[in-house]
Amino acid sequence: MQQQGSYTDGFGLHDKVVLISGSTRGLGLEMASAMARSGALVYINGRSAESVEQARAALRQTGIQVQGLVGDMSVVADIDRCMAYLEEQHGRCDVLVNNMGIRIRQPLAAFNFAQMQQMLQVNLLGAMYLSQKAAALMKKQQWGRLITITSVAGHIARPGDGVYPVAKQGLTGMMRALAVEFAASGITSNAIAPGTFATETNLEMVNSAAGQTLATRNPTGRWGRPEEIAGLAVFLASDLSAYINGQVIAVDGGLSVQF
């Protein structure tokens, strides 16, 4: 076996074109930062030009450069436009991270049909169509990484959260279907299932009594820090993950395995 350079070079993403949907804050922005620092040309995505530019500016202040694509990745026309732009500019999309999602916390009985449709459209159907378009570009070069952000809520359910687990479990099924369909083309498909992370959207809950109780239920005794998801995302996007396919990897401090 021939050795060349450091083994850690295999984690590099040099010259890889990466698109991360819904990535102007939180876990998406942390993954974007880590992949850019690993050498990738990263496109962050948001629904408004203002949110995208604010996120880019925040990263620039830390010395990290990323590109931006404005569009709603649950809308077919926006997906088509953004993927056409990547094809025109680079001829490829090497890594797709399906990160966009919304959550309406309420019991199933409280949902109307339009809300159910919205949850599935944003969390599942948009990711399916975006993955289809990205995989078509990846097949041309016989290499690609499809990474889907699910949730431990796709495997464990709690009262008062009637539709979100359905959408997240649907993403797991999608990820596995993609893993089988595209593996022969050099494209792997895997999922990251985050647990409780102290992102901007969760800060109110983190600082509440309920949030403190939730932390004590975790074997680590705390909420996750957003940067703690980034290493796995970089690994799954790299050459070193080539034989990992169709897997869901939980990043939750052990929350989902504690009885």
Q: List the chain domain ranges.
A: 13-251
Cα dihedral 235/241/246/248 (nearest 10): -30
Please count the other Cβ atoms lying within 10 Å of the Cβ belonging to residue 48.
12
Question: What is the DSSP-derived secondary structure letter of residue 223?
Answer: P
**Which residues are marked as active site?**
164
- What is the CA angle 3-37-192, rounded to 5? 85
What is the CATH architecture assignment of 13-251? Answer: 3-Layer(aba) Sandwich (3.40)
110/242 Cα distance (integer angstroms):
43
Residuewise pLDDT in 10s, the chain (259 residues): 545 678 888 889 998 999 999 999 999 999 999 999 999 999 999 999 999 999 999 999 999 999 999 999 999 999 999 999 999 999 999 999 999 988 888 888 899 999 999 999 999 999 999 999 999 999 999 999 999 999 887 777 777 778 888 999 999 999 999 999 999 999 999 999 999 888 877 777 788 888 888 888 899 999 989 999 999 999 999 999 999 999 999 999 999 888 7
Inter-CA distances, 69 with 62, 63, 84, 179, 208, Å: 20, 20, 11, 26, 35
State the pTM of this model.
0.93
Structure tokens at 5: 């350079």
